[in-house]
Amino acid sequence: MFSSATPYKNQHYSELRRDCIRSKTLFEDPEFPANNSSLYYRKPLPGYVQWKRPAEISPEPRLFVEGISAHDLNQGLVGNCWFVAACSCLALKPDLWKKVIPDHKDQEWDPKHPESYAGIFHFQFWVFGEWVDVVVDDRLPTINDELIYCHSKDNNEFWSALLEKAYAKLAGCYEALDGGNTGDAVVDFSGAVTEAIDLEKEPYYKDQKKQDQLFEDLLKVYDRGGIISCSIKAQPHEIEAKMANGLVKGHAYSVTAVRKVRLGHGLLAYFRNETIPLIRMRNPWGKTEWKGAWSDTSDEWSKIGDMERGNLGIVVEDDGEFWMSFADWCKFFTNADVCRVINTALISIHKIWHEVVHFGSWTKNADPLLNRCGGCSNHKQTFLQNPQYLFDVTKDVDEVLISLQQRDIRIHKKAGKGENLSIGFGVFKVELNRKYRLHDILTQKCVETSTYINARTVFMRSMLPKGRYVIIPTTFRPQTLGDYMIRVFTDVDSGCRELTEDKPKVKCWSSFLGYPQVVSHVYVHAAEGLQNQESPGGADPYVIIYCEGKSVQSTVKADTLQPEFATSAVFYRKKPRKPITVEVWNSNAVKDEFMGQVVLSGSTKDSSDPQRLKLRKRGRQRADEMPGNITLRIVTATQLTAI
């Protein structure tokens, strides 16, 4: 997942640091100057701002004081609780924060060698598919000698303030961080895939089965290094309003633990093996906690043995961190961001995913065939002008993860253009041999549609049966321009690739071998009442469609004489009058058994209306010898780009 980082603004940390040490000067970043342009673009700060280096704030500055902890961070004046919550989660994951804060030991202050300090730091973020190394100087904005923005509970610890400054530099200024999504920040820290869960849409609190499944999912995500955050929906006038139960609306919380906690005391607890699902969270303010069941001073803790309480690290203190029952969490919180660190390692004890990444743009063109910004499926005339990506599911059923991410546009907030586009995608099951772009939506089956939302990332998980599929990522409205990245995760290689051609290319030998005259969509819907005379009982039938020397084979239907097929193929036909043949076979370990066929004698038989035809053995004519029936539909287009 990690790769070498690209220097942001072409600023190379090692070179800049070396130059400063040689010249015995402290670094001053020209790309993020210590003035108002780096602070805000609209709303001035409430006081006189002085930029100070850590040594001017504390006599013994440190990057870390007694290591890194989720309790280090407290939110400042800017409304970026979402970022602070993400940092709290990051602090719990050494594999992640050591990437975000590279060479952390070398970047630490060294009192024994003050001459090696150059006032320069660097941090790394995952930006639109690549790791970017961001350099900052150590001048931090203060009012009345106190840090304005994110700060540590220890006034001589500066990792969080410097990390926030680097992130603000990416965004253009500190004010650009006002309002955001915790999941987006976590993705920037890790390259993870984020999934937004609406806890109101699904009745998790009322449906115990769904609640239990969600807890198991979150427990697995947490145990495998994932990061979880949550919040409560709020109207504009309710932002950061305190509820009677101690929770805060419109405020991001970081989840710091997901546990099954054993109830009872002593050996009896182990024999009974009774557990309760609990979840622990932290308020970025560093105070204001949940007051209900399983809060710090709650009577429910008397149900837990001393050893179990010790393992959980219960602290009765208003430090912003608290436990809740998972049922109460589902009841009171409305949204959760679940960031999965997808395992793509070659060898692992956990599930390994195969990842394919594509970058693209929604672009305009006067030629409809070259236009790539057709809008969502509501706009039927232009929808198929969008980019299209084909992939295969080769297992009988496979879980597929799809993430569509647009480029972060916070840096454009200064110009009043920092709003995300409304984006989403559809997944269509297509012909097994499809290799050209779709042009007729009526011949395809939409199997999944994501939500359309003005979020940076749209994510979907789906269980898909074996077959070929096309993903169509779109903006909600046509003629909307933007850049995107699409990531597809499957159990095995899906062969995911972009469809760029509309029809077969004309080649130098086409004049001799011929060029397709029509394109036909062949759809085999069902075969019923098959006769398996040679092998009494059930059969393992499958269908093969033949056209001009090419063939497409369906999946095998196990142990049945009444199979339901939904197999389709598309053929670019050079000789339309040559027959299309559909054969039914019985799969056999030694030799497959032929069960019957239908032969259509040419393009004059093509029809968009379903045709119910009798299968027959080769050469047989008598009706009582027919081994079954088949429903067949063939759609023939006169233009090669019509299907």
Active site residues: 81, 251, 283
Q: Give the position of tokens 């208003």.
A: 318
Task: Give bridge partners of residue 460 from the DSSP assignment.
Answer: 402
End-to-end C-alpha distance for the chain, whole angstroms: 38
Q: How far apart are CA 418 and CA 410, in angstroms?
A: 5
Contacts for 485 with CB less than 8 Å, ≥ 6 apart: 128, 129, 357, 358, 359, 360, 404, 405, 406, 407
**403: amino acid identity, one letter:** S
Question: CB neighbours (10 Å) of residue 99?
Answer: 21
Torsion of CA 182, 255, 138, 103, to 10 degrees: -110
> Are the CB atoms for 582 and 545 separated by under 8 Å?
yes
Question: CB neighbours (10 Å) of residue 297?
Answer: 8
226 to each of 313, 360, 599, how far by Cα in Å?
Answer: 21, 27, 55
Q: Give the position of tokens 């009442």.
A: 529
- Using CB atoms within 10 Å of the CB of residue 188, give its burial: 0 to 12 exposed, 13 to 18 middle, 19+ buried: buried
Contacts for 491 with CB less than 8 Å, ≥ 6 apart: 351, 353, 354, 395, 398, 399
Q: How far apart are CA 457 and CA 479, in angstroms?
A: 20
